[in-house]
């Protein structure tokens, strides 16, 4: 397979990249290595590369050095980013967060406007199924976006290969005479993603192939965007922020709104007041919405915030014990 055939579906994403250097995250696997070579062939932006060595298994440092040698052959500036923190809790989540943080730091160091990731249509489908198994709603089941600007730091995360199959990338590399690193953890069935990958042929026979699942995730993304716009309209009507950091919620329009939309506004209100990234749990949010309509005595405490009631409004402020000294 030739580069032009693979670049065709990628061009809308590539042409929309911000001006400036693209930092490609390259593990040495087939997806990221093909992405780096395709971006070289495209030539639309200056390209640099980085490999994150998590140090979680033997041989990871040698693999990072292999990627460095390939990049040197291609005259692509390359950096090895080392994670030297002792992980706690969910290892995969901690490694993912560390990888993103290290790539952000490297992008800032080299003045890159974009960080490019080699996610494929299979990654899109596997993510959809993993989140479905966890009971995710519309937002969680929505497709990964080809482009996502991270506000506050001026970095765009790009996934140009989301409509590309991994087998096509591997055929392209083979045709170029290139080999790739095979991560042994991709055969470790203790990981949910690996078990899903092994189940892919059986799912495809049932009509649940990668393209079909990815298309469903795209449709969920459209639904998410529509709900988000409706929630934003409701928020302008019902949520009134105060410069001192508390929020007044007009109860009447919230209780009249469809449940999903009202929950989105209430969730965003808690996040705005507390400055937290993650939403309150749905199991806690629904009772909070009911309490907002009932206006009971006392205060409701949730997600690091307190809500009290006054003159048809819910007054949402920080929970005193959660405030910094």
DSSP letters, 69-96, are: HHHHHTT--EEEEE--S---S-HHHHHH
- Taking Cα atoms as reference points, which of 131, 143, 27 lies closest to residue 78? 27
Q: Which residues pair with 9 in a beta bridge?
A: none
Query: Is the pLDDT confidence value at 145 over 60?
Result: yes
CA–CA distance, 20 with 203 (Å, rounded to integer) = 41
- The residue with greater pLDDT, 265 or 188, is 265
Query: What pTM was computed for the model?
Result: 0.87
Query: With bands split at pLDDT 50, 70 and 90, how would you rate the model's confidence at 78?
Result: very high
Query: Is the pLDDT confidence value at 33 over 80?
Result: yes
- Taking Cα atoms as reference points, which of 235, 255, 249 lies closest to residue 316? 249
Q: How many percent of the chain have pLDDT more than 90?
A: 67
CA–CA distance, 236 with 228 (Å, rounded to integer) = 12
Query: Is the pLDDT confidence value at 279 over 90?
Result: no
The predicted pLDDT at position 325 comes to: 57
Q: Which residues pair with 307 in a beta bridge?
A: 300, 316
Which residue shows structure tokens 């060595």?
Answer: 53
Burial of 209 (0-12, 13-18, 19+ CB in 10 A): middle
- Do residues 243 and 308 make contact, with C-beta atoms less than 8 angstroms apart? no
- The residue with greater pLDDT, 169 or 188, is 169
> DSSP code of 257?
S
Query: Is the pLDDT confidence value at 295 over 70?
Result: yes
pLDDT, average across residues 99-105: 93
Q: Average pLDDT of the chain? A: 91
pLDDT, average across residues 202-227: 95
Edge to edge, what strands does the sheet with 47-53 contain? 78-82, 47-53, 21-25, 112-116, 155-158, 147-150
Query: Is the pLDDT confidence value at 86 over 70?
Result: no
């Amino acid at each position: 397979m030739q580069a032009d055939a693979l670049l065709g579906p990628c061009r809308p994403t590539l042409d929309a990249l911000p001006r400036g250097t693209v930092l490609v995250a390259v593990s040495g696997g087939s997806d990221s290595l093909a992405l780096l070579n395709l971006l070289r062939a495209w030539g639309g932006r200056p390209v640099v590369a980085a490999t994150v060595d998590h140090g979680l298994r033997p041989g990871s440092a040698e693999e990072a050095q292999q990627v460095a040698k390939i990049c040197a052959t291609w005259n692509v500036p390359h950096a090895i980013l080392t994670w030297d923190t002792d992980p706690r809790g969910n290892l995969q989540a901690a490694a993912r967060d560390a990888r993103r943080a290290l790539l952000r730091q490297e992008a800032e160091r080299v003045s890159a406007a974009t960080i490019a990731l080699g996610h494929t249509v299979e990654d899109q489908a596997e993510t959809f199924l993993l989140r479905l198994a966890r009971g995710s709603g519309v937002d969680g089941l929505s497709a990964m976006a080809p482009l996502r600007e991270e506000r506050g730091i001026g970095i765009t995360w790009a996934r140009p290969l989301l409509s590309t199959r991994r087998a096509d990338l591997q055929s392209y590399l083979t045709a170029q005479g290139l080999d790739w690193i095979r991560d042994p953890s991709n055969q470790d069935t203790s990981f949910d993603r690996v078990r899903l990958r092994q189940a892919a042929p059986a799912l495809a026979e049932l009509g649940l192939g990668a393209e079909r699942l990815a298309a469903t995730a795209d449709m969920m993304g459209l639904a998410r965007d529509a709900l988000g716009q409706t929630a934003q309209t409701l928020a302008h009507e019902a949520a009134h922020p105060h410069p001192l950091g508390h929020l007044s919620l007009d109860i009447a329009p919230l209780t009249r709104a469809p449940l999903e939309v009202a929950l989105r506004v209430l969730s965003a209100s808690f996040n705005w007041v507390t400055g937290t990234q993650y939403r309150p749990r749905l199991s806690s949010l629904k009772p909070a919405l009911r309490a907002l309509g009932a206006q009971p005595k006392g205060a409701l405490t949730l997600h690091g915030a307190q809500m009290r009631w006054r003159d048809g409004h819910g007054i949402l402020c920080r929970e005193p014990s959660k405030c910094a000294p």
